[in-house]
Amino acid sequence: MAWKVPMTGPLVGEEEANAVRQVILSGWLSGGPKVPEFERAFADFIGVRHAVALCNGTVALHAVLVAMGIGPGDEVIVPDITFISTATSVVHAAATPVFADIDPVTLNLDPQSMERQITARTRAVMPVHYAGQAADMDEILAIARQHGLEVIEDAAEAHGAEYRGRKVGSLGRAAMFSFTPNKNITTGEGGMVTTDDAELAERLRLLRNHGSKITYLHEMVGYNYRMTQMQAAMGIEQLRKLPRILERKRQLAAMLSKAVQEVPGLEPPGSLADRTHVYQLYTIRVNPALAGVTRDQLRDGLTRLGIETRVCFPPLHSQPIFRSGAVLGGSLAQSDRAGEEIVSLPIHNTMTDHETAYIGEGLQGAACR
């Protein structure tokens, strides 16, 4: 259906079109200078020594796990509410994802639940900065240090988000950012790993290019995970626009939250004072007893008004691919509850004030029936 207000709308235009056009006319489409230029700019923006660009965020996570030597027999703890790649990248590396519960306010990984899931096989933890707000990194890093675990940030949704004055992507041993079109900046498809670890960055560069530095000489079994020149040229332009994009996101989120608070039974996203929220997603919670409708009834009402919504995300442990076997014990009660109550509303940079107000009216209409 054609939505009146769709979930995504990337802010791309003449700047990106011109940059891509120049690359195409140069005839140098891959393996050229635009990729290191984008990597340098991104590393500087995050405040780390190294950034490695890959063709998407999912393979970027896979490459990080392989580069760290994580594989068969190893366990990686991930939050139960996240996009599927956080967990499937672990499966791609032939390791086992273990699901931990989430904080009910931020929907981020609960450090206590994470600690309870640690076993002798645990090698790493992959906190997700859900919707664009940092996870409880100090607690997570302290627990990881105690148990000798790697910390890989899934920062796919959190370009520019800050945690206690530092940018996410600089907090763990490595971090992944995604540039798929629903993220705050996009290269069509694309991913980036940030790290201060020079050896890790070097291994990622090898893995990205068939394990080869010298043409047709292969030092390890690698992949073709390269980013194209067109993607990188677009990324350079998008990174310039990011501050403006984040400023508009904050405005849109403030407008939406005002509208959400006026409807009984609806809760705006919980945002904490010691970190900035960059609102790649805007996720509310529906309390059916107070709202008079269930989450799914609210979604149906909004759909009838042409307002697209999504459940970001159904609990991992409820997915058909994870329903049997590998998942270890432990309560996922908060995740189960969120799975019934959360819904994400449109928030993107081509959304107008008028459309934002329309969502507010839609919530009023869809709830108090």
Ligand X SMILES: *Cc1c(COP(=O)(O)O)cnc(C)c1O
Binding site for ligand X (CB under 6 A): 56-58, 82-83, 85-86, 128, 154, 156-157, 178, 180, 191
Distance CA 313, CA 285 (A): 12
Min separation Cβ 154 and ligand X, Å: 5
Q: How far is the CB of 363 from ligand X (least distance, A)?
A: 24
Among residues 4, 34, 167, 183, the one annotated as catalytic is 183
Asked if 100 contacts 123 with a C-beta cutoff of 8 angstroms, the reply is: no
Query: What element of type H or E holds 100?
Result: strand 96-100
Question: In the complex, which residue's CB is closest to ligand X?
Answer: 57
**What does the DSSP assignment read for 21-37?**
HHHHHHT--BSSTHHHH
- Is 183 an active-site residue? yes
Which residues, in sequence order, are bridge partners of residue 194? Answer: 51, 175
Is there a contact between 344 and 268 (Cβ–Cβ < 8 Å)? no
> What Rg do the C-alpha atoms of the chain give, in angstroms?
21
Nearer Cβ to ligand X (83/225): 83
Q: What is the DSSP track for 255-282? A: HHHHHHHTSTTEEPPP--TTB-B--SSE
Q: Shortest gap between Cβ of 349 and ligand X (angstroms)?
A: 17
CB-wise, 130 or 358, nearer to ligand X?
130
| Cα angle 317, 189, 152; round to 5 | 50
Could you tell me the smallest distance in angstroms from the CB atom of residue 23 to ligand X?
21
Q: 308 with 281: CB under 8 angstroms?
A: no
- Distance, in Å, from the CA atom of 141 to the CA atom of 129, rounded to the nearest integer, reads 14
Rounded least distance, CB 287 to ligand X, Å: 25
CB 147 within 8 A of CB 243: no
CB of 210 to ligand X, least distance (A): 20
Element (H, E) at 329: none
Q: Report yes or no: 228 and 28 within 8 Å, Cβ to Cβ.
A: no
Task: Report the distance separating Cα 330 and Cα 84, nearest Å.
Answer: 20
Residues with a catalytic annotation lie at 183
